[in-house]
Amino acid sequence: MTNNKAAYLMSLSLLFALLFIASAGLAEEQDLTVYCGAGLTGALSEIGEIYENSSNMSVKFNFDGVPALRAQIEQGAYADVLVSANLKHMNALKSEGFIDNQTVVIFVRNKVAIIVPNGNPANITGLKDLAVPGVKILMGTKELPAGDYALQVLDKLAADSEYGPAFKESVLANVVSQETTVNRVVSKVALGEADAGFAFISDVSPQMVGKVSKILIPDKYNVIGDFPVGVLSQSKQKEEAQAFIDVIMSDEGQAILEKYGFVPVK
Q: Which of 22-36, 75-89, 116-130, 232-246 has the lowest mean pLDDT?
A: 22-36
61: pLDDT strictly greater than 70: yes
Mean pLDDT, residues 2-30 taken together: 48
Mean pLDDT, residues 107-132 taken together: 96
In CATH, which superfamily holds the domain spanning 27-109+226-264? Answer: Periplasmic binding protein-like II (3.40.190.10)
pLDDT given for residue 16 in this prediction: 47
pLDDT tens-digit map of 211-233: 999 999 999 999 999 999 999 99
**Interhelix angle for 87-95 vs 66-74, to 10°?**
10
Could you tell me which CATH number the domain at 110-224 has? 3.40.190.10
Q: Exposed e or buried b for every residue in 97-109, given b needs 16+ CB within 10 A?
A: ebbbeebbeebbe
How much of the chain, in percent, has pLDDT values that exceed 90?
83
Q: Do domains 27-109+226-264 and 110-224 have the same CATH topology?
A: yes
Average pLDDT, the chain: 90
pTM, full prediction: 0.82
Break the chain into its structural domains and give their ranges: 27-109+226-264, 110-224
Mean pLDDT, residues 117-136 taken together: 96
From CA 124, how far away is CA 209, in angstroms rounded? 18
198: pLDDT strictly greater than 60: yes
**In the structure, what pLDDT confidence band is assigned to residue 29 with cuts at 50, 70 and 90?**
low
pLDDT tens-digit map of 75-119: 999 999 999 999 999 999 999 999 999 999 999 999 999 999 999
Contacts of 179 (CB under 8 A, 6+ apart): 138, 139, 140, 141, 144, 147, 185, 188
**In the structure, what pLDDT confidence band is assigned to residue 14 with cuts at 50, 70 and 90?**
very low
From CA 197, how far away is CA 139, in angstroms rounded? 6
pLDDT given for residue 131 in this prediction: 97
17: pLDDT strictly greater than 60: no
Mean pLDDT, residues 62-87 taken together: 97
25: pLDDT strictly greater than 50: no
Mean pLDDT, residues 147-158 taken together: 97
